[in-house]
A and B are shown apart, each in its own frame.
Chain A
Amino acid sequence: MIDLYATIAFMVLALSLASCFYRLFIGPTLPDRVVAIDTMTTIIIAMIAVYCIKEGNAIFYDAILVLSILGFVGTVSMAKFLAKGRKIFDQ
């Protein structure tokens, strides 16, 4: 049963990944693209989580933690870059 649910979840996630790619591709402005990439990180995290549930092991949970931290740092620095230009390390 869990396999079926996992497959359905994977399909939904793959579809949303594809729509993010679409936004990344056409995105008229830079913020659109940044949000698209951030969403893609989240979707990949969800995919790893679903995979862990399907396989029944917890070995990739740390990968989720690492990816989410990197996604957070990336988004924050992108946001600051959009707001302040090159002076992202200024107070």
Chain B
Amino acid sequence: MTSLIFKSITKTVSPILMIFSLYLLLRGHQMPGGGFIAGLMTSAGLVLIYLAYGCDFFDWHKRSRFFYYLFSGGLALSFLTGLAGLFIGGTFLKSGVAHVEMPFIHESWEFASAGIFDIGVYLVVCGVCVSLMTLLGEEE
């Protein structure tokens, strides 16, 4: 039986971790951060939930196939971004940048194709972590 203190802390901390991981994922292009560390943060939040509420909380062990394809798909997404750089930009991993004028706030935002690469990495890390946890939870 997990202690009440830990459960209450998890209730507060995990959502913050998810938001923080999103922040890390989006700022990763110019500042420290990026797909890997964001995936790690999301997984840390999930590990906390698993530890506090047990592996039956999400019922994810029935969907291990989905997480397998999640991380394979993430890998494929990252790889295809690199290949797109090769075919469109001229060299492997070449990143394209677009500046888009956002409506209502009148600011120019920068979108880079490296962001898609980061999202792929994020999916890989999350998928692998969840697969590992479901495997560990299954094994009695």
Q: Which residues does A use to contact B, with CB under 8 Å?
A: 59-60, 62-63, 65-66, 69-70, 73, 76-77, 80, 86-91
Q: How many residues of B contact A (CB 8 A)?
A: 26
A-B contact pairs, 19 of them (CB 8 A): A59-B31, A60-B32, A62-B24, A62-B32, A66-B24, A66-B40, A69-B44, A73-B44, A73-B51, A76-B51, A77-B51, A80-B2, A88-B136, A89-B51, A89-B55, A89-B133, A90-B54, A91-B53, A91-B56
| 6 residue pairs, one from A and one from B, having the closest CB atoms | A91-B54, A89-B137, A89-B55, A73-B44, A89-B50, A90-B54
Decide if A69 touches B41 in the complex (CB within 8 Å).
yes
| A66 in contact with B37 (CB, 8 Å) | yes
**How far apart are the CA atoms of A80 and B41 in the complex, in Å?**
20
Task: Tell whether, in the assembled complex, residue A77 and residue B32 are in contact, meaning their CB atoms are under 8 Å apart.
Answer: no
The yes or no answer to B73 lying at the interface (CB within 8 A) is: no
Q: Is B37 touching A76 in the complex (CB atoms < 8 A)?
A: no
